[in-house]
Structure 1
C-alpha cells in the first residue's frame, strides 16, 4: 500500500573482571564499519531457482545474482558507477530483479528491472522529477505489478499496471487527492485512503474502479499512525488491519469482507504488532513479530511454529526471516549476534537445515565489538522510555551492561521522529564505543512502535517534552555511573539533528558538544519545503508539530526553532548536510551556520553536493565520520583514527569553520 507515515558468565562469577585500558582494545578502522559490506540484502526468487544480493562492483554496491544451487556462478546484474543500489526485489515470475534508484539523493526514485537471463536493464518509469512507488506485487499474477507514479501531479501518485516484459504502463486509477491505495492479489484496487483536515484518515471501498462516496472507516489523529488496512488474503475474502481503535497498541485484526465482522489475531500491551509472516499461497498470517526491547516471532498457526522454534534454537543472535519461496520450502534468514557481524542463511524447511550463505562484513570477524543492552528509563512524568546502551569494552569487558567507571557518552538520537531505535548491531554504537564512549539511544515520546498514546504524547512537543526525555535519559546515565554530566555529547540525523540543535541552543550548557546531520533548524522553512508528494501527510505534520497557518501555531514553531536561539549556543557544533536533500533543505543548515557565524560563534559545516537526506555513498559517510570522530575526541577526550585521506576520497566541501575541527584544515589542503 502506498502510505504516508509518518559470554563467560561462570568464569566472571568466580574471577574479578578488571577494567582494561582503552589502549588494550584495538581501534577498528572506520572503513571496516562504514565501508561497503561484502554482501547484503539477499533475496530468493519466488521459484527458488535464484539468489540475488547487493555487493560491490568496482567499489560501488550493485545487484548480483547466482543460481541458488551454485553460488560460485554469481554475476553482477547492474553497473552503477557512483551511487549505491541499496535494495532489490524479485518480479513474481522470477525472471527479473527490480530496484529503485535516485540521483544524488534527490529521492526521485525511478523503478528499474534487469532480466536475469539476458542482462537487459529497463527503466520502467523514464520520467523527470518523478518518484515511483511499488504498490502491489502478487504471487497470483506473474506478468505485471501495480506502481504509483506522480509525473502528472507531483502531489499524488496515479496507479498504473506495469507489464514487466514489455515495460508498458496502463493507467488503472487517476489519483485526485488520495494518500494511497490497497490492492488485492488480482491487482484490483479495493481501498482508497484520504487525509482528513484533523490529521486523521478516511478509508473508502473501491468497487469496479469506482471509489465509494460513503466512508468505510474513519480514523482520528490519535489512531492515524497505528490503524490502517494491511493486506487481503489471496481469495480476497479477508482483510487484515493493524488497528489501535479502542485500545492503545496496534493489534492485528482480521475482517470478514462480506459481513464486516472482525477478529483479533494478535495484540500485545507492550508494543504494536510489527511484521507478519504470511503464507505465500493463501495470504493468511502464519506468525507476527512484537518488538518491545527486542524483536520476537510469535506463531499464529502450527504452519511455522516448529520452524520458528528451530531457528530460535539454532541461530546465535536475533534472527529475521527476510525472503521466502512461493512454495514455502526455502527461507532466507538474517542472523544478528550484535558482537559479531551479521550473517545470512538458507533454511531448508523440509530438511530442517541451515546453510550459511555469507557474512556481511567478514572484516569485522574477531573485532572487539561491544554488546548492546536494552534499558527501560523513566521520564519525569512516568513514561517508560525504551532505550539502548552500548559500553566501551575497556569498562565492560564481559558485556555485563555495567560500567566499571564513568566514561564520556554520546547521546545518539534517532530520526523521524515517527520512527524508533531497536536492538541489534548498530554501526554508530560500535564505532563510538570503540572510540571510548558510552552510547545511549532513547525512544523519546513520539517514537513509533509503543502504541498510539506514546506517539501522541509527543504532539506539539518538539524541543520540549521530547527534549526533556533526552535530558532525563542523560540524568539516568549519570545516576547509574555510565557517564558524568560534563562529558556528554549529543548527535543524530534528521529529527536527531534537530534534537542536537535544540540541545545546544535550548539547553546550552547541558552537552559538551553536538553533531547535527541533516537536521532542521527552522520549523517554518522546514514545513514550507517538504516534498510535494508529502501533501497527504501535511495536516498530520501541522497537528503534531505546530500549524503554520494559525497565529498560535506560528508562535509555537518560532519558539521551537533552534535558529531563533542560535545566539545562545556556547558549545562546539559540527553540521553535515546533503546539498540535494528534499526533506530537510540545505537552507536548514545554511541558516543556522550563517546566524552563528554572524555572532562569531564557532561552528564547522560540511556539505556533500551529491547527497540528500543522509550520506548514501560510503566514501562520503566515512569522510564525515572522520571529521566527527576527531571533533568528538577534542570535545570528550576519546580516541580517533586520523582523518588521513578520507576527505579527499569524498566530495566533501567544508563551507565554514575548518579551524574548529582538529585536523580538518590540513585534510583539505
Structure 2
C-alpha cells in the first residue's frame, strides 16, 4: 500500500514538473528590456564598461573593476539614457546621452558629450548646451563645460595621444532646414577644450580618421540621393572628390592598425558585393571578400583593440569570413565557436595588446551573453548575460528561407516554427512585416515579437522584401515608390509560398507589422482581402499623403527630398495606396495600436483610421497608450500588448498548435 502511495506521489510530482516545463515563456519576461546591451573592455584591461538598465527603465553606464568585480553606476539626469560610449584612453571613456522616442528607435541624442575614468572619478561634461550641468563627483558647476548649441559625436580616439580625441560638431543655429555641416575638432578629454581641424565638404557627412589622429575621408548622401566620398590630403588643404568610390557608392569603413590600408565597402563585379582593401601608398584596390547575394554586415573585430580579422555577413544565418584562417585570432575564434555550436560567436572589444577580449555569444533563441576571454590561458569566463531569465531551450528557432517573387526576383526571409513543431504542416501563421522599410532587414536574431507568437503555437513568416537592407543599393532602390506595389506583392508572394509549402493553413493567416510594417499589414488586408483573416497595425502609417505634413521625416530638405524620391509626389497615387481609402475592400478583422507621443508616426495616423472604422460601424480592437512613442517602451504596456494581440489572433484564426495540443490533452483527461 505504501509503495503504491509513493508511486502515485512520484507520478503526480512528475506530471507537475512536466506541466511547468510545458508552460511557454511569459509575456512579462518577453517584454523585459535587456539588463546589458553593449559591453566593452578598457584598453589596459582593468575595467569593463556596459550600458545597464535600472529599475525605472533608464539606461545608464556601469563601470566594473575586473580585479574586484565591484560595479559603479554612473547616475544621469532624469530622462537621459546613454546612447553611445567608447574607451578613448587606457582608463578614460566618453559617452553621449539621449532621450527615448519609442521602443523601436534609438534615443534622440541631446548632442552632449561626457567623459569619466574607469573608476568613476574625473566625470566631466566635455560639450553641451545645458549651462547648469553639474559635475557627477562633487555636484559643483563643471568648469570646463562648453556651452554651445550643437551636437558633438566621437570620430575616433588617438592611440598615441590619450589626452585628446577627434569629434564632429554640428551647430544647431546654422543648420536651419538643411542637414548639418559638421566640423572636426581635436578635443581635450579632461576639459572639453577644442581646436578646429577642418570642415566637412558636404552637409550630413561623416568622417573617417586614421590611428594618428588625422581626418582622411568624408562621405555621405546628398539631398538628391547621390553618394559622395572625399579624401583629405595628409599635406595641404582642401577635399578631393573620389569619383570611382562615389559612383560605386563605396563607403570607407576603417583603417588597418598600421594605417597602410583602408577597407572599403565596394562592388565586386560578377562576384556581387564586396569589401576591398585600398593601399594608401599605391592607391590600388583589391577585393578581400565577396558574396553574390548579400552585403557585409561589418568588419570583424579581432582579439586586440582596433584589429580587423575578416568580414561578418548574414546570408540567411550569420557568417564570418576571416582573412587569414591560420592567424592566432582566427584559431581562437574557431575554438570558441566549437564550444557554442549553433550560436553566433564574435569578439566585440579587446585590450591594446590582445591579452584580454570580450566575446558575445548569441542566437535566434538566445538574447546573448558577454564573456571575458584570456587567449593565453584559453580561459573563458561568463561576465554579463543580457537577459538571464530567458531559457533558450524553450524558445522558437528561425529557419532561413528563399523563394522567387512573381517577377522572378530572389527573396530571402525566415520561418519560425512553434517549439517542437518544426516538421508540422498546415500551421496557423502570422506574417510579420519589418519596419523602415528602406535599408532595414529581418535577421537571424532573438526577436521578442516573434517569440511571443511562435511560443503560443503560431508559425511566423518574415520576408526581406525589395527595399530591405543587406542586398545592395539596387535592391533598396527597387522598393522606391512601391508602397502598396511590388514591396507589398513580395510579402503576398511569401505568404502564398508558405501555403504552397504546406507550412501555413490558408484559412488561418494573420498579418502584423510595426511602423512601415503596420502600413503593410493593413495594406495587405486591403489588397488581398481573401488572404488574411486578421491584420494588426502597430504605430503604422495609413494615410501616405499625410507623411508630407505630419511626422519628423519632412523636417529637413533632405527628408523632404527623400520622401519624394522614395514614396513619389503624386498625391492621388499615394492616396489610392493608403489603407484609410480602401476600406470597401476590407474583410479581415482589425487591431490598431498607437502611441500618443509618437513623433515619427503621429497618433493622428491611427486616430483617423480608428474613426473611419467607427464611422463604418466596423468592429475592431483599439489600443492607445497616451504616454508611449514609436513602439511601446514600458514593460507593462508591452506585456498588455502581447496579451491582447494574442487574444485577438486567437479569436480571429483560432488557437496556435501548442494551444490545440494542450486543449486536446485536457479533453482526453
TM-score normalized with structure 1 length: 0.81
Q: 1:80 to 1:610 in 2, by over 3 A?
A: farther
Q: 1:368 to 1:246 in 2, by over 3 A?
A: closer
Query: Could you say what secondary structure the match of 2:225 adopts?
Result: coil
Question: Which residue of the partner structure matches residue 179 of structure 1?
Answer: 204
Q: 1:367 to 1:45 in 2, by over 3 A?
A: same
Contact map agreement 2:533 2:587 (CA 8 A) in 1:
no
**Per-residue displacement from partner, 1:172-192 (whole Å, max 9, x unpaired)?**
445684221323134433333
1:69 aligns with 2:67: yes
Q: 1:560 to 1:26 in 2, by over 3 A?
A: same
Q: 1:109 to 1:622 in 2, by over 3 A?
A: farther
1:354 aligns with 2:355: no
User: Whole-Å Cα distance in 2 between the matches of residues 490 and 209 of structure 1?
Assistant: 58
Corresponding residue to 1:415 among 435, 447, 464: 435
- Structure 1 residue 107 displacement after superposition: 2.2
- Structure 1 residue 263 displacement after superposition: 1.0
User: Whole-Å Cα distance in 1 between the matches of residues 366 and 590 of structure 2?
Assistant: 33
Contact map agreement 1:413 1:441 (CA 8 A) in 2:
yes
1:290 aligns with 2:321: no
1:498 aligns with 2:519: yes
Question: Which residue of the partner structure matches residue 9 of structure 2?
Answer: none
Q: 1:629 to 1:134 in 2, by over 3 A?
A: farther
1:45 aligns with 2:42: yes
1:459 aligns with 2:487: no
Corresponding residue to 1:543 among 562, 565, 579: 565
- Structure 1 residue 245 displacement after superposition: 6.8
**Per-residue displacement from partner, 1:416-443 (whole Å, max 9, x unpaired)?**
2221111132222221111121111111
- Structure 1 residue 508 displacement after superposition: 3.0
- Structure 1 residue 158 displacement after superposition: 2.5
User: Whole-Å Cα distance in 2 between the matches of residues 624 and 432 of structure 1?
Assistant: 12
For structure 1, the 5+ residue unaligned runs are: 1-20, 642-669
User: Whole-Å Cα distance in 2 between the matches of residues 434 and 576 of structure 1?
Assistant: 22
1:392 aligns with 2:418: yes
Contact map agreement 2:370 2:383 (CA 8 A) in 1:
yes
- Structure 1 residue 241 displacement after superposition: 1.1
Corresponding residue to 1:597 among 614, 617, 639: 614
- Structure 1 residue 23 displacement after superposition: 10
User: Whole-Å Cα distance in 2 between the matches of residues 290 and 204 of structure 1?
Assistant: 26
Instruction: Tell me which moved more, 242-251 or 491-500.
Output: 242-251
Corresponding residue to 1:622 among 639, 656, 660: 639
Corresponding residue to 2:529 among 504, 508, 513: 508
Map 1:119-518 onto structure 2 (within 5 A).
Answer: 122-127=124-129, 132-142=152-162, 143-152=164-173, 153=175, 155-161=179-185, 162-174=187-199, 177-185=202-210, 186-193=212-219, 195-196=221-222, 198-207=224-233, 210-212=237-239, 215-217=242-244, 219-220=246-247, 224=249, 227-234=250-257, 236-244=259-267, 246=269, 249-277=272-300, 285-301=308-324, 302-316=327-341, 317-340=343-366, 342-365=368-391, 368-393=394-419, 396=421, 401-403=422-424, 405-417=425-437, 418-518=439-539
Q: 1:511 to 1:177 in 2, by over 3 A?
A: same
Aligned CA RMSD, in angstroms, stands at: 3.3
Question: Which residue of the partner structure matches residue 32 of structure 1?
Answer: 29
Q: 1:521 to 1:326 in 2, by over 3 A?
A: farther
Contact map agreement 1:251 1:265 (CA 8 A) in 2:
yes
1:100 aligns with 2:126: no
Question: Which residue of the partner structure matches residue 519 of structure 1?
Answer: 540
Query: Could you say what secondary structure the match of 1:628 adopts?
Result: helix
TM-score normalized with structure 2 length: 0.81
User: Whole-Å Cα distance in 1 between the matches of residues 619 and 127 of structure 2?
Assistant: 46
Contact map agreement 1:248 1:452 (CA 8 A) in 2:
no
Question: Which residue of the partner structure matches residue 662 of structure 2?
Answer: none
Q: 1:480 to 1:86 in 2, by over 3 A?
A: farther
- Structure 1 residue 337 displacement after superposition: 4.4
Contact map agreement 1:567 1:596 (CA 8 A) in 2:
no
Number of aligned residues: 605
Instruction: Tell me which moved more, 571-580 or 27-36.
Output: 571-580
Q: Quick one: higher RCO (CA 8 Å, sep 6+), 1 or 2? A: 1
